[in-house]
Structure 1
Amino acid sequence: MANSKFEYVRSFEQPDSLLPNTWIVVRIDGRGFTKMCAKYEFEKPNDRRALDLMNAAAKAVVTDIPEITIAYGVSDEYSFVFHKSSNLFERRASKLVTTIVSTFTANYVYLWPTYFPDTPLSFPLPTFDGRAVCYPTVQNLRDYMSWRQADCHINNLYNTAFWKLIQLGGLDNKEAEKTLAGTLAADKNEILFSRFKINYNNEPEIFKKGSIVFKDYELAEPSSHDAAAAADALAEPPVQSKSQAEKDKKRRAKAKVVVEHLDIIKDEFWDRRPWILSGKPGQPGKASKEIQT
């Protein structure tokens, strides 16, 4: 680019590189989705079409950006995780966040007719915001993911009980809120079963556990979870040659991206999928589907 007297304005740009050797989570949230849910008459407490659309958009993001190791979504939010060794966009927060948000939003709008064929989009169109947060250890990252999944369960149990009291119990919003005020999880389960013969355990896993998007390889035999924590204690991530890094990138790009609804709080999910925390592609053999309770 030719120099000019105007080029001095570049000095106003501020560096925004995220901390090295930390896990990066880019979390996006729908903007004004409460109004949008009402506008398009989303089913309460969960609209499977809307959740499947979120998952399809997230799957497109993970497929398009191989550096993402795993993503977790619930309701109108999604968290995308970059391995601590990732140097995508030189770890610039603005580039990472805007790329994730724009790619997700574009796919969400593009795929809308697939999931809502009888309800065309109209202005204001759905939009999302985002933020990037760094987590220094595997335990920090897993605690973040566990927090989001625990939040999914807590909110879904409440919303399920709340809307059944309205839809099947004939209460209004204030009456339903009053009925549930101060109740524990066991109380809500009892309300659902005693009043409406609904066993919350039989609700679809997508509603109770949310959705996990990741690259699928052959499941590993359960091993000690401490190995991942020990590897995480290293001061610096291992250095790869340029050729090996390129090979790994191609293998990740070719891997099948799947959407599952599993327990990510327990060790088993992570132990059987060591490639998620290691940052190395797994075995390309036949991937196995695992059912967790």
Structure 2
Amino acid sequence: MANSKYEYVKAFERENYLLPETYIVIRVDGKGFHKFSQHYNFAKPNDLQALQVMNAAALEIMKRYSDVQLAYGDSDEYSFLLRRKCDLYERREMKLCTLFASLMATFYTLFWNKAHPERPIELEQVPTFDARAVSYPSFEIVRDYFSWRQVDCHINNLYNTTFWGLVKKGMTPQEAEQRLSGTVSSDKNEILFKDCGVNYNNEPEIYKKGTILVREFDEYKSEATPVTAVSSRQRQKQDKLRRKARIEKVHVDIINNNPWWDARPWLRE
């Protein structure tokens, strides 16, 4: 209805454009995944197949959008780093958030059904996600953001591993919670080893450190030209190069790991 008398309603719409020349991080979180995991009988403390479904969904998003340089995920969340010069959807916050949340829900359902044909997604419990987009002015803050998420992964996983270790040894959930009240990391490691016979250092890296998906370039050339000065043809060429870059999946410690970050200068672009 272009140019109709009803078009005035568009004047009520408001867009929030994320700041240009800043890094964008979009974090997608599962909504109500506690009930979701109970409904589909997730293994405790970690369900490897569920994590693999999350990783597959995040990887598919990275394949479709070359502006995503890195993604980090654990449990029911994933954080996507969009390059500083990204102009996807003109950097409109609502567009980006709804896009990533809906794609994650769609791909999660698709890959879940492929992995679990015996228990497909049911209408009573469908996977839903929300998303937030944040602009960060410096790469140092970006590194601190991903360090924060990995620290959070470690803290939560150590607690959950110890909690469920005690429950499996015969404690009630209430007793296990009380046993862990006021403990620090060293206490939990000792409880795990002495009471549960588990050496936390031997737990799979995917549980302790989460999963990192990162674009890797064999030959990298800096995109030093300001985005406003890049022609449409140049943009297409750069996009093609990014799409050709392989996406690696790793489980490494990125907290304060300067060499890991410094070896990938394209993450700063």
Judge same fold: TM > 0.5, yes or no: yes
Q: What residue in structure 2 maps to residue 290 of structure 1?
A: none
- The alignment's TM-score, normalised by the length of structure 2, stands at 0.93
> Partners of 2:115 and 2:267 in 1: how far apart?
30
Q: What residue in structure 2 maps to residue 248 of structure 1?
A: 238
> Partners of 1:79 and 1:197 in 2: how far apart?
34
Report the Cα offset of residue 4 of structure 1: 1.4
Report the Cα offset of residue 217 of structure 1: 2.7
Report the Cα offset of residue 2 of structure 1: 3.5
Report the Cα offset of residue 22 of structure 1: 1.3
**1:17 counterpart SS class:** coil
**1:198 counterpart SS class:** coil
User: In the alignment, does 2:110 pair up with 1:110?
Assistant: yes
Report the Cα offset of residue 242 of structure 1: 3.4
**1:3 counterpart SS class:** coil
Structure 1: runs of 5 or more not aligned: 221-233, 279-293
Report the Cα offset of residue 97 of structure 1: 0.9
Whether contact under 8 Å (1:59, 1:258) holds in the other structure is: no
Q: What residue in structure 1 maps to residue 259 of structure 2?
A: 268
Q: What residue in structure 2 maps to residue 277 of structure 1?
A: 268
Q: Residues 266-287 of structure 1, C-alpha deviation per residue, up to 9 Å, x if partnerless?
A: 1122122222223xxxxxxxxx
Q: What residue in structure 2 maps to residue 163 of structure 1?
A: 164
CA RMSD of aligned residues (A): 2.1
> Partners of 2:146 and 2:227 in 1: how far apart?
22
Amino acid at match of 1:270: W
Report the Cα offset of residue 263 of structure 1: 1.4
C-alpha distance 119-219 of structure 1, shift in aligned 2 (>3 A)? farther
> Partners of 2:217 and 2:198 in 1: how far apart?
36
Whether contact under 8 Å (1:219, 1:273) holds in the other structure is: no
**2:122 counterpart SS class:** coil
**1:131 counterpart SS class:** strand
Report the Cα offset of residue 115 of structure 1: 2.1
Whether contact under 8 Å (2:15, 2:94) holds in the other structure is: no
User: In the alignment, does 2:130 pair up with 1:125?
Assistant: no
Q: What residue in structure 2 maps to residue 291 of structure 1?
A: none
Amino acid at match of 1:171: M
Q: What residue in structure 1 maps to residue 188 of structure 2?
A: 188
Report the Cα offset of residue 197 of structure 1: 2.5
How many residue pairs end up in the alignment?
265
**1:132 counterpart SS class:** strand
Q: Residues 106-138 of structure 1, C-alpha deviation per residue, up to 9 Å, x if partnerless?
A: 111111122223212101311111111111111
Amino acid at match of 2:246: K
C-alpha distance 120-16 of structure 1, shift in aligned 2 (>3 A)? same
Report the Cα offset of residue 237 of structure 1: 6.7
> Partners of 1:63 and 1:201 in 2: how far apart?
33
Over the matched positions of the two proteins, sequence identity in percent amounts to: 48
**1:133 counterpart SS class:** strand
Amino acid at match of 1:142: R
- The alignment's TM-score, normalised by the length of structure 1, stands at 0.85
Whether contact under 8 Å (2:15, 2:93) holds in the other structure is: no
The 10-residue stretch of structure 1 (100-109 or 52-61) with the greater mean CA deviation from structure 2: 100-109
Q: What residue in structure 2 maps to residue 177 of structure 1?
A: 177
> Partners of 1:127 and 1:62 in 2: how far apart?
19
